[in-house]
Amino acid sequence: MILVFKYFRFFILIIACLSIFACSMPKIVVLNDPLTAEEHLQLGLSYERKGLLDEAIRHYEEASKNDARGFLLIGNLYLNQGKHDQAEENYKKAIKKDSKLADAYNNLAWLYYIKGERLDEAEDLVKKAIELEKGNQDKLKIYKDTLDKVNKLKTK
C-alpha cells in the first residue's frame, strides 16, 4: 500500500509539473507556407510516383491555391483511378482558375471520350486546347490525337 501511495504522489507531481510548464512552453507557429506552388507540385509528383496518393493530393491541393496545375494533377490522379466525377470536377476547377491551361481542356475532353458522353462538348474542349497551344507541336500532336478519337467515336 505504501508503494502504491509513493507512485501516486510521483504521478501527481509529474502531472503538476507538466501542467505548469505546458502553459509557459514556447510554441512554433508557421503562418506562411515556406514552399512555393511549384515545389508543392514537384513533391506531389514524387509522392504519386511512389504510390503515396494521399500525400500527393495534399501537395497538389496546396499548389492549387496559387496554381491551376494543382487541380489538373488532382484530376489526372483521379482519372487514373477511374474516379471520373472527381476528375471532371478538378479539370473544371483548373479551367476556371486558369482559362489558358490547355492540358485541362484536353484532359476533360479525353475524360468525356473515355465515358463516351458529351462528345460535342469534348470536341469543343479539345479545339480550345489546340487553339491555346497552336505553336507547340508536341502538345498539338497529343491534342489532335484526342480530337481524332473523339470524332471517330461521334461517327459510330
| pLDDT tens readout for residues 88-111 | 999 999 999 999 999 999 999 999
Domains of the chain: 37-91 (1.25.40.10), 100-156 (no CATH)
Q: What is the pTM of this model?
A: 0.78
What do you get for the CA distance between the two ends of the chain, in Å?
87
**Residues 6 or more apart whose Cβ sits within 8 Å of residue 35:** 43, 62
Compute the distance between CA of residue 154 and CA of residue 156 in angstroms, rounded to an integer: 6
Give pLDDT, residue 156.
80
Give pLDDT, residue 68.
97
Contact (CB, 8 A) for 123 and 150 = yes
Compute the distance between CA of residue 103 and CA of residue 95 in angstroms, rounded to an integer: 9
Contact (CB, 8 A) for 63 and 37 = yes
Chain mean position to CA 118: 24
**Residues 6 or more apart whose Cβ sits within 8 Å of residue 126:** 105, 106, 109, 110, 143, 146, 147, 150
Compute the half-sphere exposure of residue 20: CA atoms within 13 Å on the CB side of its CA: 6
**Residues 6 or more apart whose Cβ sits within 8 Å of residue 122:** 108, 109, 110, 112, 113, 150
Give pLDDT, residue 34.
84
pLDDT-flagged residues of the chain (< 70):
1-31, 33
